Copies of this chain bind each other. A is one copy, B any other.
Amino acid sequence: MSESGSQVIFMPSGRRGRFAEGTTVLEAARELGLGIESICGGRLTCGKCKVKVEDGEFVKHGIISHSSHLTAPSDAERDLLESSHATDGRMSCTAQITGDLLVYVPEESRAQKQVIRKTAGERVIDIDPAIRQLYVQVDRAELGEHRGDWGRLQDALAAEWGLTNLAIDLSALRKLQSVLRQKNWGVTVILWQEREVLDVRPGYSEGIYGLAVDIGSTTVAAFLCDLRTGAILATESTMNPQISYGEDLMSRVSYAMVNEDGTEKMHDAIIKTLNKLAGQAAVAAGLRARDIHEMVVVGNTTMIHLFLGINPIELGGAPFALANRDAMDLKAHELSLKLHPAAYVHVLPAEAGHVGADNVGVLIAEEPHKQQQIELIVDVGTNAEIVLGNSEWLMSASSPTGPAFEGAQISSGMRAAPGAIERVRIDKETGVANFRVIGEHRWSQDWNLAPDAGEGDRPEHKATGICGSGIIEAIAELYLAGILQPDGRFNPNYAGDKLTWNGRRAAYLLATPVQTSSGNPIYITQEDVRAIQLAKAALYAGAKLLMKRAGVETVDRIKLAGAFGSYIDPLYALILGLIPDCEPQHVIAVGNAAGDGARIALLNRGKRIEAQSLSRRAQYIETAVAEDFQDEFVAAIHIPHASDPYPHLEGILPAATTTTPGAPDARPRRRMRQG
């Protein structure tokens, strides 16, 4: 930038400066701190740095801008503009300033790209991944000069990109000599965290990819992303195969405790599954798993221990010591992950023994620490992580809800898949259920099941079972219809014919044989109700404990996270007493926020630093040893609660019912080993 020289203004940012004749537009932008993307370093190969010059007089800016105020494009630039379908633009790396200019930098040329997260609260992610691709021209090897090919590549990276102190992965070093000679010593370098070369490719070449992974106790989800644009190229998910060793966290910890090879077996199982997901995601995007240069992982602490091959035994008893709380970077091959041979794995940090990387993922995705209002975020899974706070303070806790919300431990439970009952309404007069199954848009009362019904009239899927959101609605509706008492027992005084009694135990007929694909009826049993009561009580008690510790009586907003959380109707979550009272329209589902957090950390390395600092900022409340947790838990077994009022549900909840004293015998599912 100089005192004299031509005035150059960049739009839409409006930044301006004076530059000497001969300065390229790219250099001018960089001096002003504006990121214009460039991979090839001004060699007219990548076509990423194109800009447009606005012709004409701009009174507002006080300059006359003309495309003739740039040096004329060379043939090479013209060719590149043509092949980039940008004949009205210029390549900023080669166009030199000769007079005043108003330059427009289009979205796709901005180095700081952003992607919009497509969920409830749409938000932008600045693209600044740990993986970068750079093109460099390396000095040809000459007799009498002994730097070696890697030395020459380092010199080129230092001269052209200012990179020093670089390491190179052995797999890249092994191919370096051949790659350098294939395209006349031009090479594209894949760089990790500005410090290690992961790969080298002949000539100019594009393509860097990453995988964000959320390892849940029940479900494992993987998101394959283009690291240059931030786009999600494929999403794959599957059951966590560790389920065969135990449905909830504590059963898996026990399995590792009792079986000498338990940790190894569960570790191998999750690695195998991740390799399968990575392969499937890559194929879906027209890639190979070896194109994945980095993987970011979130999961609860037990899942992360098992993912790393660390025995989770210490998480099974007080003081619930983690092996490691901080974020980790590992080579994927150390974990036998079959990605790029030099690929890295970044594991987000944990907060405490039972609040893991998944919750840190939720924090960087939902950013309660940037809100003024008090937010309660509940990540509903087999283990629920709960966060409460705002920009001034943050608290977290974990609650052992068990897998009931995911359809396990429910007599007709199933995952959210076609045929699963996901919505339920019960007629207060007749007690008859009207439901909707996944994969069929019509409610069951509109199904035409007559033998002579036309093909299009019959439901595409009949009911095959009930998933988490369905069971919640069913139980809440049973309660609203008076069929279920607040204590969770079926009402012995209920007269309708949908309740079948077997001695003192009853079951509610949700779907008749003709409505199911198997031809067998689907019931809600007393045990089903109990399982959901225990799960929701654990969740409520955890949230309540945080509110008590924080001295907060009501919260401004509740976010339900997790795949399951996203399917729950907020109103029914309130009616059932899963969450404390709140304005129903302020209860929102935010999707797989933990997975989103993994994706955000994959796409933006600054967010990893933020994650590390957040992991130490949240004050953790240990529910397992809180003396009042047990009391909160017992009171929360009632529907919606034995003592806490729900003023926002006035008119919806039935008038106060006499609850039978003595809640069912229940204890939270986490077993403690006092150590």
Contacts and interface: CB of A to CB of B under 8 A. Distances in A.
Given A143-B622, A318-B143, A326 B174 contact: no
A645 interface: no
A314 interface: yes
Contact of A177 (B168, B177, B321, B352): B321
A308 to B, nearest CB: 7
A313 B175 CA distance: 12
Q: Which 10 A-B pairs have the closest CB atoms?
A: A148-B325, A141-B321, A148-B322, A143-B319, A146-B352, A150-B324, A141-B319, A148-B324, A177-B314, A174-B310
Interface in A123-179: 141-151, 168, 170, 173-174, 176-178
A284 interface: no
A145 B324 contact: no
Given A149-B322, A174-B323, A177-B310, 15 more contacts: A143-B319, A146-B325, A146-B350, A146-B351, A146-B352, A146-B353, A146-B620, A149-B323, A150-B326, A151-B325, A170-B309, A170-B335, A173-B323, A176-B323, A177-B323
Interface string A323-344: 1111000100011000000000
A155 to B, nearest CB: 12
Interface in A602-655: 620, 622, 625
Contacts of A142: 319
A320 interface: yes
A263 to B, nearest CB: 9
Contacts of A145: 319
Interface of A: 141-151, 168, 170, 173-174, 176-178, 308-311, 313-314, 318-326, 330, 334-335, 350-353, 620, 622, 625
A326 B166 CA distance: 12
Contact of A173 (B170, B174, B310): B310
B170 A321 contact: no
Contact of A350 (B148, B311, B620): B148
Nearest to A169: B334
Contacts of A151: 324-326
20 contacts: A143-B320, A146-B322, A146-B350, A146-B351, A146-B620, A147-B325, A148-B322, A148-B323, A149-B314, A150-B323, A150-B324, A170-B334, A173-B308, A173-B310, A173-B324, A177-B310, A177-B311, A177-B313, A177-B323, A178-B311
A144 B354 CA distance: 11
Contacts of A311: 174, 177-178
A178 B323 CA distance: 10
A321 B352 contact: no
A174 B334 CA distance: 12
A298 to B, nearest CB: 17
A363 to B, nearest CB: 15
Contacts of A325: 146-148, 150-151
A318 B146 CA distance: 12
A488 B625 CA distance: 93
A426 to B, nearest CB: 45
A622 B144 contact: yes
Contacts of A174: 308-311, 323
A515 B394 CA distance: 92
A474 to B, nearest CB: 39
A621 to B, nearest CB: 9
Contacts of A620: 146
A43 B174 CA distance: 48
Nearest to A150: B324
A17 to B, nearest CB: 39
Nearest to A144: B622
Most buried by B among A174, A178, A324: A324
A598 to B, nearest CB: 20
A19 to B, nearest CB: 40
Nearest to A146: B352
A144 B323 CA distance: 15
A16 B177 CA distance: 57
Contacts of A168: 324
Contact of A326 (B148, B309, B323): B148
Contacts of A320: 143
A322 B180 CA distance: 12
B170 A330 contact: yes
Nearest to A143: B319
Contacts of A323: 148-150, 173-174, 176-177
Nearest to A267: B174
A396 to B, nearest CB: 10
A177 to B, nearest CB: 5
A312 to B, nearest CB: 9
A151 B616 CA distance: 12
A670 to B, nearest CB: 14
Contacts of A318: 143
A360 to B, nearest CB: 12
A350 B149 CA distance: 13
A279 B523 CA distance: 65
Most buried by B among A147, A151, A308, A321: A321
A70 to B, nearest CB: 41
A584 to B, nearest CB: 35
Most buried by B among A168, A177, A350: A177
A311 B177 CA distance: 9
Contacts of A308: 170, 173-174
A337 to B, nearest CB: 12
Contacts of A178: 311
Contacts of A309: 170, 174
Nearest to A330: B170
Most buried by B among A145, A148, A311: A148
Contacts of A322: 146, 148-149
